[in-house]
């Protein structure tokens, strides 16, 4: 897939959308502003024709994320701008569009406790765990370290007492497949 072909596909999509949607005819006409290569294909950004001509900030289309033209099949996917600016849009694309499930990531605390058991012993692992999870009492921390140190998972009742990893404060908007494979 070449850059020119990706741009051609997005321009054809924009033209179809303008013809098929009454409200699109009332909004500023969009045009391809730029395209750059990505591992998944081509990211094609769109902006209003007026802005591309005038560079007047009043003519900017706001909230328009890029289109991804898939390198393998030419399908076109719109990535909402709030999703695109997150560091997780690629993971979402692989999972949602391609059906690729990421491998389970090991819990960093479990990995640290296991490493400490091997290198410095159980007591060092218990101390580290209690610093990271102050809600665990000494006996609970010992039970956690014993379970994890032997290669198991922490008991659910203890895992519930651990601090939760911080997640982004907003959900990612889904990536919308707007055109199937190109012919």
Taking only the tens place, the pLDDT of each residue in 90-131 is: 989 998 898 887 666 667 888 889 989 999 899 999 999 999
Domain-embedded: residue 62: yes
Q: What is the pLDDT of residue 64?
A: 86
Domain-embedded: residue 101: no
Q: What is the pLDDT of residue 111?
A: 85
> What is the separation of C-alpha 75 from the centre of its chain, rounded to a whole number of angstroms?
19
Mean pLDDT of 160-180: 75
Same domain membership, residue 119 and residue 81: no
Same domain membership, residue 56 and residue 118: no
Domain-embedded: residue 132: yes
| pLDDT, tens digit (0-9, with 9 covering 90-100), for 137-161 | 999 999 999 998 888 888 888 877 8
C-alpha to C-alpha distance for 132 and 126, rounded to whole angstroms: 10
C-alpha to C-alpha distance for 166 and 164, rounded to whole angstroms: 6
Same domain membership, residue 65 and residue 19: yes
Does residue 35 register a pLDDT over 90?
A: yes
Domain that holds residue 37: 3-88+170-179
Q: What is the pLDDT of residue 66?
A: 96
Same domain membership, residue 39 and residue 71: yes
Tell the burial category of 44 from Cβ atoms under 10 Å away from its Cβ (0-12, 13-18, 19+).
Answer: buried
Domain-embedded: residue 164: no
Same domain membership, residue 149 and residue 73: no
Same domain membership, residue 112 and residue 77: no
Number of domains in the chain: 2
Same domain membership, residue 74 and residue 7: yes
C-alpha to C-alpha distance for 123 and 112, rounded to whole angstroms: 13
Q: What is the pLDDT of residue 181?
A: 85
Does residue 165 register a pLDDT over 80?
A: no
Same domain membership, residue 51 and residue 72: yes
Beta strands in 10-159 (DSSP E): 30-38, 41-48, 67-70, 76-78
Domain-embedded: residue 97: no
Same domain membership, residue 174 and residue 144: no
Same domain membership, residue 135 and residue 79: no
Q: What is the pLDDT of residue 46?
A: 96
Confidence of residue 166 (pLDDT cuts 50, 70, 90): low
Arithmetic mean of pLDDT over the chain: 88
C-alpha to C-alpha distance for 98 and 120, rounded to whole angstroms: 43
| pLDDT, tens digit (0-9, with 9 covering 90-100), for 56-85 | 999 998 888 999 999 999 999 999 999 999
């Amino acid at each position: 897939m070449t850059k020119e072909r990706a741009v051609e596909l997005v321009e054809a999509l924009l033209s179809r959308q303008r013809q098929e949607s009454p409200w699109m005819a009332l909004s500023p006409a969009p045009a391809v502003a730029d395209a750059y290569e990505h591992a998944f294909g081509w990211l094609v950004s769109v902006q209003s024709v007026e802005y591309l001509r005038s560079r007047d900030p009043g003519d900017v289309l706001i909230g328009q994320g890029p289109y991804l033209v898939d390198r393998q099949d030419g399908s076109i996917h719109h990535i909402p701008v709030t999703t695109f600016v997150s560091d997780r849009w690629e993971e979402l694309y692989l999972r949602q569009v391609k059906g690729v499930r990421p491998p389970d990531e090991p819990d960093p605390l479990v990995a640290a406790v296991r490493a400490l058991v091997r290198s410095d012993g159980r007591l060092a692992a218990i101390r580290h765990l209690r610093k990271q999870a102050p809600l665990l009492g000494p006996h609970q921390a010992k039970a956690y370290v014993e379970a994890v140190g032997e290669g198991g998972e922490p008991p659910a009742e203890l895992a519930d007492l651990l601090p939760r990893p911080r997640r982004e404060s907003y959900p990612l908007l889904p990536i919308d497949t707007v055109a199937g494979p190109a012919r």
